[in-house]
Amino acid sequence: MTQAVDRVNFALTISVMLAMAIPLLLFPEVSALALQTAYTWLATKFGWLYILTAISAFSAVVFIGFGPYGRVRLGSDDPEFSTPSWIAMLFAAGIGAGMMYWSSIEWAFYADTPPFGAEPRSAEAYVWASSFGLHHWGLVAWSFYCLPTLAIAYPFYARGVPKLKYSISASHFIKGGESSIGARLMDSFFMIALVGGIGSSLGFSTPLIAALLSRLTGLPATFGMELFVVAVCVAMFGTSVWLGLTRGIKRLSDFNMWLGFVMLVCVLLASDTVFLLRMAINSIGHTLQNTVAMMFWTDPINNTGFIEDWTIFYWAWWLAYGPFIGIFVTRISKGRSLREVVFGMLGMGSLGVWLFYLVIGNHSLGLQLSGEVDVLGVMAEAGGNQAVIAGLDALPFATLFIIAFILLTSIFTATTYDSASYVLSASATQSLKPSEDPARWHRVFWAIAIAILPIGLMYAGGLKEAQTVVLVVSLPLVFTFWLSGISLFKSLKEDHGAPSET
C-alpha cells in the first residue's frame, strides 16, 4: 500500500491529544477542575443548541427514511457484507463498553434525581428512570450517527468523491478540496472529538473491567490493574487492526453479537422473568409516548440540572462519535439504499441497545424494588462499578455472568478502538478509493495512540472527567454537523430533484 500520510491532519490531532493528556497526567486536580468549569459553562450556554440539533437531525433522518430519497442507492454495486454482519459491525463500532456500564445502572442515577419533577424513588421516578436511558440511547440518539453517515456515504458512493473524510460531507460550504483551511479544520475537529469520545468510553470501561476482574480474582482494583486492562485491550485491537477489516473487526463483532444475545437470554431466564417482560413492555410504551417531551425538554423553569448533567452530555458524546461512525459505516455500506441505512441504524441500532437496557438495567432495578439488593445504597457507598457487580452477583452462577460481562466489555472496547483507529488513519491519509484501506502501520499507530488520553483521564479521577471531556471537544462539531446535513439535502435535490418531483 502506498497511501501517503496527510501530515497536517496527523500532526494537528496528535498535538491536541497530547495537549489534553499531559496536563491531566502532570496536574490531575487542576485539570479536572478546569474541565468541570468548562463543562458547566458550555452546558448552560449551549445546551439548547445540542437539543435543537437532536430535534433537527431526527426529523431529517426520518424524512429520508420514509420519504422519496429513501430509494436512492449508495452506488450500483452489490453490498459487500451480509445484512446480519453489516448490522453487527455498525452496532459494534458505534456502541462500546460504555453501554455495558450505563445499561446496568443509568436507571439508578435517575431514580434519585428524576426528571420532570417526579419525587425521588417514587413509582413515577422508576418509570422515568427506565425510559430516559432508552431515550438517551434510542431513535433520536442514533440520528446523531445516521445523518453524518448519509452525508458522507452519499458523496463517496453516489458522487464518486475518492476521499473517505468527514470534510467531503460539507462540499456545498467548503470549497477548494481537502487541503483548504475549512476542510482541514473540519477534519481535525472531528479527529480531536473522536479521540475525546473514545477517551470517555475507555474511561468508563477500564475501571469497570478492573473492578470485575478484582471481584473474580480477589486482587485489588488498582491503577496498575487498570493499566493492565488497557494493555490487554490495546493488544487485542492492535491484532485485529493488523488482521484488517474483514478478518479482524467482523469476526469480533459477530462473536460479540452472539455472546451478548446469549447472555441477555440467560439473564432474562435467571432473573424475575415476568417482571422483566412487564417492565420492558411498559418502558418501551412510556418511551415512545414521551419521546417528543423528552426530545424538546430544556427545563427552562425549574432548571434542575438534569438536562445539563445528562441529555447534553449524551448528545455531545453521540455527536463526538457521529462523523467517525459516519466514515466507518460508509466504508461497509456500499450498495445499500439510504432507507436501509436509516432503518439499520435507527431501528436495529436502538433495538440492540434497548435489549441491554431492558434486560440488564431492569434486572438491577427489580432487585432494588423487591428489596433483594440495595443497589442505590451500594452505588452511594461504593460507586457505580460496584453497583453493576451487585446486580450480577444476585444472579445464579454469578461467576459465569461476570466472565461473560468481562468478555463483552473488553471486546466492545476492542471493536470500538479498532474501527476508530481505522477511521483516524483514513482521515490522516491523503487519498483513498472505495476498495482501499489505510496503511497497516498507520492503523496500528492510531490504535496505540488513542489509549493515551484515557490513561490521563483515569489518572485524574475517572467518571466525571470522562464525561466532561466529551462536551468540551464536541462543540465545534455541532456546527459542522449542520453544514453536512444541509449539504446532503442540497446534493440530493441537485441530483434527484426536490422531494415532490422524485
Q: Tell me, what DSSP letter sits at residue 169?
A: G
SS3 73: strand
99 binds ligand NM2 (CB under 6 A): yes
Q: 96 or 114, CB closer to ligand NM2?
A: 96
Q: What cell does 490 get? A: 442540497
Q: Whose grid coordinates read 495537549? A: 19
- Of 231, 161, 245, 169, which is closest to residue 202 (Cα–Cα)? 231
Q: Whose grid coordinates read 475518492? A: 162
201 binds ligand NM2 (CB under 6 A): yes
Q: 171 or 484, CB closer to ligand NM2?
A: 484
Q: 69 or 132, CB closer to ligand NM2?
A: 132
Nearest-approach distance from CB 314 to ligand NM2, in angstroms: 6
From residue 386, alpha-carbon distances to 2, 117, 382 in Å are 49, 28, 6
Q: 342 or 492, CB closer to ligand NM2?
A: 342
Q: 151 or 345, CB closer to ligand NM2?
A: 345
Nearest-approach distance from CB 209 to ligand NM2, in angstroms: 12
Nearest-approach distance from CB 54 to ligand NM2, in angstroms: 13
Q: 9 or 201, CB closer to ligand NM2?
A: 201
How far apart, in whole angstroms, are the C-alpha atoms of residue 137 and residue 98?
A: 11
Size of site (CB under 6 A) for ligand NM2: 11
Contact region with ligand NM2 (CB under 6 A), list: 89-97, 188-196, 328-336, 402-410: 89-97
How far apart, in whole angstroms, are the C-alpha atoms of residue 356 and residue 461?
A: 27
Q: Restricting to residues 2-61, which ones interact with ligand NM2 according to CB under 6 A?
A: none
Contact between 310 and 47 (Cβ < 8 Å): no
Q: Restricting to residues 358-397, which ones interact with ligand NM2 according to CB under 6 A?
A: none
Q: 97 or 249, CB closer to ligand NM2?
A: 97
Nearest-approach distance from CB 416 to ligand NM2, in angstroms: 6
Q: Pick from 95, 147, 174, 471 the residue near ligand NM2 by CB under 6 A.
A: 95
Contact region with ligand NM2 (CB under 6 A), list: 43-51, 95-103, 293-301, 390-398: 95-103
Q: Restricting to residues 253-292, which ones interact with ligand NM2 according to CB under 6 A?
A: none
Helix axes 398-427, 223-243, angle to 10 degrees: 60
How far apart, in whole angstroms, are the C-alpha atoms of residue 146 and residue 111?
A: 30
- Of all residues in the shown chain, the one whose CB is closest to ligand NM2 is 98
Say which amino acid occupies 100.
M
Nearest-approach distance from CB 158 to ligand NM2, in angstroms: 27
Q: CA geometry: angle at 48 spanning 43 and 53, to 5°? A: 110
Q: Restricting to residues 416-475, which ones interact with ligand NM2 according to CB under 6 A?
A: 416
Nearest-approach distance from CB 11 to ligand NM2, in angstroms: 26
- Of 464, 397, 386, 456, which is closest to residue 210 (Cα–Cα)? 386
Secondary structure of 399-448 in the HEC alphabet? HHHHHHHHHHHHHHHHHHHHHHHHHHHHHCECCCCCCCCCCHHHHHHHHH
Nearest-approach distance from CB 200 to ligand NM2, in angstroms: 7
Contact region with ligand NM2 (CB under 6 A), list: 12-20, 23-31, 96-104, 422-430: 96-104
Contact region with ligand NM2 (CB under 6 A), list: 37-45, 180-188, 265-273, 312-320: 312-320
How far apart, in whole angstroms, are the C-alpha atoms of residue 496 and residue 240?
A: 40
The per-residue DSSP string of 340-388 comes to HHHIIIIIIIHHHHHHHIIIIIHHHHHHHHHTS--HHHHHHHH-HHHHH
Question: Cβ-count burial of 297 within 10 angstroms (0-12 exposed, 13-18 middle, 19+ buried)?
Answer: middle
Nearest-approach distance from CB 322 to ligand NM2, in angstroms: 8
Element (H, E) at 463: helix 463-496
313 binds ligand NM2 (CB under 6 A): no
Nearest-approach distance from CB 103 to ligand NM2, in angstroms: 9
Nearest-approach distance from CB 199 to ligand NM2, in angstroms: 11
Q: Restricting to residues 321-340, which ones interact with ligand NM2 according to CB under 6 A?
A: 321
Q: Pick from 43, 87, 89, 97 the residue near ligand NM2 by CB under 6 A.
A: 97
Contact between 446 and 17 (Cβ < 8 Å): no
How far apart, in whole angstroms, are the C-alpha atoms of residue 471 and residue 307?
A: 13
Q: Tell me, what DSSP letter sits at residue 27?
A: S
Contact between 338 and 150 (Cβ < 8 Å): yes
From residue 500, alpha-carbon distances to 36, 172, 496 in Å are 48, 22, 10
Q: 325 or 392, CB closer to ligand NM2?
A: 325
Nearest-approach distance from CB 144 to ligand NM2, in angstroms: 8
Q: Restricting to residues 107-166, which ones interact with ligand NM2 according to CB under 6 A?
A: none
Q: Whose grid coordinates read 455500506? A: 333
Nearest-approach distance from CB 466 to ligand NM2, in angstroms: 10
What residue ranges bind ligand NM2 (CB under 6 A)?
A: 95-99, 201, 314, 317-318, 321, 416
